Structure 1
Amino acid sequence: MTVGWQALKRYIQRDLLPLLADLRLAIGLLLAIAGFSIAGTVIEQGQSLAFYQANYPEDPALFGFLSWQVLLGLGLDHVYRTWWFLALLILFGASLTACTFTRQFPALKAARQWRYYTRPRQFQKLALSTEVSQGSLAAMVGFLGQRRYRVFQSDHTLYARKGIVGRIGPIVVHASMLIILAGAILGAMTGFSAQEMVPSGETFQVRNILDAGPWAQAQIPRDWSVRVNRFWIDYTPDGTIDQFYSDLSVLDQAGDEVDRKTIHVNEPLRYQGVTLYQADWGIAAVRVKLNNSPVLTVPMRRLGPEEMGRFWGTWLPTDPDLSEGVSLLAKDLQGMVLVYDQSGKLVSTVREGMATEVNGVALSLVDVVGSTGLQIKADPGIPLVYAGFALLMAGVLMSYVSHSQIWALEVDGRLYVGGRTNRAQVAFERELMELLDRLSAQTEALPLATGLSTSASSGA
C-alpha cells in the first residue's frame, strides 16, 4: 500500500504536475474554450427542435456538415452545459492551479528570500553592475529609502528590493481566473432560463423552461408568483415603438404583494436571485361589445411569419348560430382594429371607445389587451464571475509593477553596486545611474556595465 502511494506521488510530482503546468497546454485549452464560447454565441441556444430543423437543414448543411442532427448530437444547442465544455473548464482550472503551485508560488518565495553578495566576483552575473572609488552604504540607504526600496544591511553588505507586489500579481490573476471558472461551472449546473408571454392582469409562475442545469430545480421559484398589473407601449410621433413597459408585482403564496417594479428594456426586476427582463410583446385579446351585450374578451393569435410584419387576428361571430361573423386584425396597441367581412373585404376601422355597424350589429371596441414577453433567468454563478473579473483587473495591474533588486558590497575602500529588474529596464538603469551619481558626488564613476561579459571586466 505504501509502495503504491509513493509511486502515485512520484507520478503526480514528476509527470502529471509538469504536464498540467505546461504553458502550451494552457494556451490550447484557452483557445478551445474561446472557440466553443464563440460557437455558443453564434448558434442560438435552447431553442426547439423545429427551430433547429428549420434553420440547420440536412440538405444543404451549413458549411457542408453542420446540420441539425450534428448540432444536437454535439450539444451545440446548449454548449455551456455540455459535459465536454465543463470538462474543458475543469481541466483548464487544474492547469492554472498546477502552474500556480509549481511556478508562481516558488517564484514568489524566491523573490521574498535573498542573500548578500560578499565577494566582488558575484556582481559579474548581474545585468547591471559597476564599482565606484568613493561612496558608502549609508548614503545608499538614504537614497533607496526615498525610492521606496526595502533595505537589508549587514556589516559591509546591502540588499534592497521593491515591487514584490509584481510577483504576487500573477498569482492573483490565476486565482481570479479560477474564481471565474468556478462561477461559470456553478451557473451552468444550477442556472436556468425561461420565457413567458403573459397578458395584462394575469398572474403566472415560471413554467416555460428553455434551458436548465441539472441542479437548477432549487432555483426555479415555487413559493412565489408574478402578476402583470399592466403592460403598455410608448410610441413616437411617427408611430414606431419608443419603449414598452410592464408593471409587475411579486406575490407570495398567500397572494400578498412582496415586491413591485415597472420594468422596461435594460431595467429588469430582480427577486431572490431570479431576474425578469422585458424582452418581447404581443396582443393577447380584444375586448368588444355586440349591441348591448356584456364585454366579450376574444383571444387573438399571431398571424404569418415575422418577416411579413407583426399582426394579430381573430374571428368574431355576429350571429348566435355562428353563420355570420367578422375577422378582427390588429398590429399594435394604439387602439385601432381593422374589421373584415367573410369574403376578406375591409368593411370598417374601429378605435377604442368607438363603435361601427357590421352585419346589422353594433360592434364596440372596448380595448386591445396586450401581453408582455418576459425573459426569466437565474445564474447563481454571476457574483463569482463579477468578483473574478474585478480581481483579474487588480491582478493585471499588480503584474505591471517592476520587481527590482539592488546589491552593494563595500570592501577595500571600493563600493561594488549591481542590480536587476524583471521589466522597465530603461527606467531601472536611470534609477541606478542616479544612485551612482549621488554616490560619486564629484568623483567620476566608472562606466556602467551592461551584460554579463562587460560586467565581468568592470566588477572583477
Structure 2
Amino acid sequence: MNDQSEGVMEKVWNIFSSMKTGVFLLGVVAVVSGIGTLIPQEALDPKGAQSVSAIWKTLGFTHLYATIWFRLVLGLLCVNLIVCSVQRFSGIYRKTFKPNPPQSSKAIPQKIQAKISGPESELRAAVMKVLTGKGYRLTTSEQEGRWSFIAQKRRWGNWGSLLTHLAFVVLILGALVGSMIGFKGYFMAGVGDTLPIKQIEVSKGNVNENFSMKINSAEDRKLANGERDNWYTDMSIIESGKEVARQTLSVNHPFTYQGVTFYQANFAQGGKFTVDLKGQKIPVVLQDQGGNYFQVPGTDLYLFLSAMKADPKAPVVLYQVYQGNSPIKMGQMSLGQADNIDNTFTLTFDGMAGYTGLQVKKDPGVNVVWLGCALLMLGLILSFYWRPHTLSGIIETKKESSLLLGAVRGRLAVGTQEEFNQAVTDVEGLITAGSAGS
C-alpha cells in the first residue's frame, strides 16, 4: 500500500514538474482569457452580458474571472510553478554557494576553451591574480598531480529565472486573494445622505463590513478662469452612530478606511428641498435629470428633479410629481420659492447640492500583487542585466604543466567570449612576463 502511494505521489510530482504541463496550463489560461475579452462581463457590461447566449452563461464566461474552474486552472498553474521551483532550488543553490571544481579535463566546457602552458606555480598564481582582480570568486580543489578551480562573477544572476517563476506564483495568489475576499462596488449619494456600505451596488465579491458613509459635502469646484479644478467629496465613516473617520477625497486622491478604498468616480448637480408634511419638515436632496426620486411618506406621491439651471447665484429647478405611474404636476421654482403639492405637502427649493458618485473597492491581495511585481522586476534584472560569468580550469602535470581553461556559455552568451578571451590574454601575459624575468 505504501509502495502504491509512493508510486502515485511520484507520478503526480512528475506531472506537475513537467514543463509541458506548465505550457499546457498557460495555453488554457491564454485561450480562456482571450474568449473572456470578447464576451461582455457582468461586472463591466451588465446589459451586454444579458444578451450573450445561454451556453456561455452556463459555462460562466460572463463572469469568467470569478468562476471556480478558472480559479482552479490558476491554482494548478501555481502548483506547477512551485514544484518546478522546488525541483530547481537545490541545483541553483549548489551552483551559487557550493560549486564543484572540475575533476578532469572532460569537465571543462568545450565550446569556449583555451590551453596555456607554463610552470605550475606560475599558472596558479596568474589564474588567482587575474580572476580575483576581475571580481571572480574562486573555489579550488587540489589532489595529486592536479589543481582545479571554478570561478564565478555575478553569481546572484543564477537566481533570476527562479525568482521570475516565483513572481508569477505570487501574482496569481494575489489576484486570487483579491477576487475571493475583496469586493468592488459603486454608489451615488447626495449631500446629507447616510448610506450603509452593505447597500451599495456590488459588481464583484461580497461586502462584510458594517459601517456607513455620510456625505457632508460634494462640490464641483472651478478655477478663477472658469476651468474645472476637481470634484471634491467630504465624507465621514459612521460606526454605531459615531463618526470614526473623515476625509475629503477627489479624483486621484482616494480615501481608505480599514482596507476599503473610496475613489471619486463622477459628479452630478442636485437640488436641496424641504418637504413640509403636516408640520414635519423633511430635508430632501434630488439629483438633476431624474437620477433619483423621493416618495412622500404615507402616500403614493413621488418627487423628481427633471431639470436644473445650475447658477450659483440664481438657480432654477423644474420638478415633477407622480402619483403612481401618472404625472400630476410639473412646476418651476427659483431659490427659496415654495409650492403646494396636491394639498398634501409643501415643497420648498433651498438651493443647489452636489451629488457624488464613488467607486468602492477592497482588494486585500493588492500588497501581494505589488510583492509579485517587485519579485518579477528583480528576477528580470538578474536574468538579463546581471548574467553570471563562470570560468573553470584544471592544471595537470604530466611531461609539462598546462592549464586547460573554459567558460560556461549559457543561453545568453553575449560578452562571455570577450570576457574569456581577455582573461586568457591576461594570464598569458603574466606567464610571459614571469618567464622573461627569470
Instruction: Settle same-fold status: TM greater than 0.5.
Output: yes
The letter for the 2-side match of 1:9 is E
Aligned equivalent of 2:131, options 141, 144, 147? 144
TM-score, normalised relative to structure 2:
0.77
Percentage of identical aligned residues = 24
Structure 1 equivalent of residue 429 of structure 2: 441
Inter-partner Cα distance in structure 1 for 2:340 and 2:416: 91
Contact persistence 1:288–1:296 (CA under 8 A): yes
Give the C-alpha shift of residue 280 in structure 1: 2.8
| Residue of structure 2 aligned with 1:12, choices 6, 9, 14 | 9
Q: 1:436, 1:82 → 2: CA distance?
A: 60
Partner AA of 1:409 in structure 2? I
C-alpha distance in 1 between matches for 2:422 and 2:305: 90
Q: Which residue does 1:179 correspond to in 2?
A: 170
> SS where residue 73 of structure 2 aligns?
helix
**What CA deviation, in whole Å up to 9, does each residue of 1:4-39 have, x standing for no partner?**
xx22322332x3333323333323322433454466
Give the number of aligned pairs.
404
1:244-272 CA deviation, whole Å, 9 max, x = no partner?
Answer: 2110112232x333221111122111011
Shift of residue 394, structure 1, vs aligned partner: 0.9
Structure 1 residues 46-100: Cα deviation after superposition (integer angstroms, max 9, x where no partner) = 459xx74x43565xxxxxxx43x34432323432221011111101101101211
Give distance in 2, aligned partners of 1:182 and 1:128: 42
**Pairing partner for 1:90 from 75, 82, 93:** 75
Aligned to 2:209: 221
Change over 3 Å in CA distance of 1:272–1:43 after alignment to 2: farther
Secondary structure of 1:431 counterpart? helix
Counterpart contact for 2:154–2:388, Cα < 8 Å: yes
Distance in 2, matches of 1:24 and 1:81, equals 26
The answer to whether the 8 A contact 2:333-2:349 is kept is no
Residue matched to 2:220: 233
Match of 1:169 in 2: 160
Alpha-carbon RMSD: 4.1
User: Structure 1 residues 175, 367: CA separation in 2 closer, same or farther (over 3 Å shift)?
Assistant: same
Match of 1:320 in 2: none
The 3-state SS of whatever aligns with 1:153 is strand
Distance 2:244 2:113 in 1: 72
Distance 2:363 2:401 in 1: 69
Structure 1 alignment gaps of length 5 or more: 59-65, 304-310, 318-324, 445-460
1:39-438 residue pairs with structure 2 within 5 A?
A: 45-47=41-43, 52=46, 54-55=47-48, 66-67=52-53, 69-110=54-95, 112-120=97-105, 122-123=107-108, 125-134=109-118, 135-155=122-142, 156-206=147-197, 207-213=199-205, 216=206, 220-222=208-210, 224-235=211-222, 242-253=229-240, 255-283=241-269, 285-287=271-273, 297=283, 300=286, 303=289, 329-330=307-308, 336-339=315-318, 350=334, 352=335, 365-400=349-384, 401-410=386-395, 411=397, 412-438=400-426
Structure 2 portions without partners, runs of 5+: 297-302, 322-326, 433-438
Opposite residue 406 of structure 2, the aligned amino acid is G
Work out whether residues 314 and 328 of structure 1, in 8 Å CA contact, stay in contact via their aligned partners in 2. Answer: no
Aligned-residue offset at 1:282: 3.6
